[in-house]
C-alpha cells in the first residue's frame, strides 16, 4: 500500500462510521414479529377473561418464555431482520433492555386501559384493553422501538 494522506484516511473512517450508523438504525424486529406479538396479546386477553386463573398464569408464563426466546434470537444478530443481519456488537447491549422496558410499558398500558374500561362498565375490559394494545403493537411496534432505541442511545 502506498502513502495515504491524513485527509483521505479521515474521509474513509468517516464513511465507515456513517455506514455503521446507518446499519445500526436498521436494527429492530421484523414486522411479522410485531403482528405475532399483537395476536398473542389478544390471546392472553381472551384467556384472562374466560379461563380459570391458573390457566391465565400458565399462559402468561408461556408467553413470556416464547417471547424472550424469539426476541433474543432476533436481536442478537444471528437471525435476519427485514433489512439487515448484524452482530450483537453492532446492535448494542442496551437494545434488549429497551425491548423489555417497552414491553413493561405495554403491560402498564394494558392494565390501565382495562381499569378504565372496567370503571366505565365494560364487561370484558381485559379483552378490550388487549385489542387496543395489540393494535398499538401491530401498527406501531417497529417505530416505537426505533424511537426508544434513539432515546436510550442503544
pLDDT in tens, 82-106: 555 566 666 666 777 888 888 899 9
> CB 110: neighbour CB atoms within 10 A?
22
Burial of 29 (0-12, 13-18, 19+ CB in 10 A): buried
Q: Which of 22, 25, 27, 26 has its CA nearest to residue 96?
A: 27
Q: Which residue has the cell 494522506?
A: 5
pLDDT in tens, 35-66: 998 999 999 999 989 999 999 999 989 988 88
| Entry pTM | 0.70
Containing 83, the helix (H) or strand (E) segment is: none
Q: Which of 47, 75, 79 has its CA nearest to residue 62?
A: 47
Amino acid at each position: 500500500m502506498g502513502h495515504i494522506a491524513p485527509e483521505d484516511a479521515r474521509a474513509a473512517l468517516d464513511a465507515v462510521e456513517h455506514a455503521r450508523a446507518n446499519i445500526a438504525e436498521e436494527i429492530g424486529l421484523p414486522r411479522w414479529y410485531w403482528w405475532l406479538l399483537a395476536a398473542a396479546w389478544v390471546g392472553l386477553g381472551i384467556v384472562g377473561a374466560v379461563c380459570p386463573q391458573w390457566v391465565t398464569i400458565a399462559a402468561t408464563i408461556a408467553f413470556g418464555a416464547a417471547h424472550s426466546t424469539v426476541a433474543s434470537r432476533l436481536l442478537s444478530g444471528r437471525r435476519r431482520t427485514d433489512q439487515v443481519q448484524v452482530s450483537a456488537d453492532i446492535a448494542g447491549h442496551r437494545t434488549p433492555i429497551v425491548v423489555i422496558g417497552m414491553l413493561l410499558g405495554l403491560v402498564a398500558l394494558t392494565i390501565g386501559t382495562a381499569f378504565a374500561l372496567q370503571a366505565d362498565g365494560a364487561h370484558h375490559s381485559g379483552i378490550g384493553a388487549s385489542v387496543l394494545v395489540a393494535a398499538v403493537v401491530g401498527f406501531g411496534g417497529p417505530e416505537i422501538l426505533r424511537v426508544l432505541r434513539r432515546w436510550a442511545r442503544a
